[in-house]
Amino acid sequence: MIAVTSGKGGVGKTNIVANLGYTLCKAGKRVLIFDADLGLGNLDVLLGLTPRYNLSHVIEGVKTLPEIVISGPGNLKILPASSGIQALTRLTFSQKLEVFNELNTLLSNYDIVLIDTAAGISSNVLYFNASANEIMVVVTPEPTSITDAYALMKILSVKYQEKNFRLIVNQVKNTREADDISRQLCLVTNRFLDISVEHFGSVMADDNVKVGVRKQQVVSEWSPMTKASRCFSELAHKLIRSQPMLKRQENRPLIWQDIM
pLDDT in tens, 150-160: 999 999 999 99
SS3 162: coil
Average pLDDT of 209-230?
Answer: 95
pLDDT above 70 covers what percent of the chain?
Answer: 88
Query: Is pLDDT at 187 greater than 80 in this prediction?
Result: yes
Q: Which of the four pLDDT bands, split at 50, 70 and 90, describes residue 64?
A: confident
Nearest to 164 by CA among 130, 119, 126: 130
Q: What residue type is assigned to position 222 of the chain?
A: W
What's the whole-number average pLDDT of the chain? 88
Among left, alpha and beta (phi > 0; psi -120 to 50; other), residue 171 is left
Q: Which of the four pLDDT bands, split at 50, 70 and 90, describes residue 223?
A: very high
Average pLDDT of 94-121?
Answer: 84
Sign of the alpha-carbon torsion through 256, 238, 185, 208: negative
Q: Which of the four pLDDT bands, split at 50, 70 and 90, describes residue 257?
A: very low
Query: Is pLDDT at 201 greater than 60 in this prediction?
Result: yes
Instruction: For 199-215, give one letter per residue: b (16+ CB within 10 A) or e.
Output: bbbbbbbbebbeebbee
Nearest to 128 by CA among 150, 110, 113: 113
Q: Which of the four pLDDT bands, split at 50, 70 and 90, describes residue 211?
A: very high
| Residue 182: partners with Cβ closer than 8 Å, 6 or more residues away | 167, 169, 197, 199
Average pLDDT of 106-119?
Answer: 91
What's the half-sphere exposure (Cβ side, CA atoms, 13 Å) at 69?
A: 18
Q: Which of the four pLDDT bands, split at 50, 70 and 90, describes residue 59?
A: confident
Query: Is pLDDT at 86 greater than 80 in this prediction?
Result: no
Between residues 98 and 44, the one the model is more confident about:
44
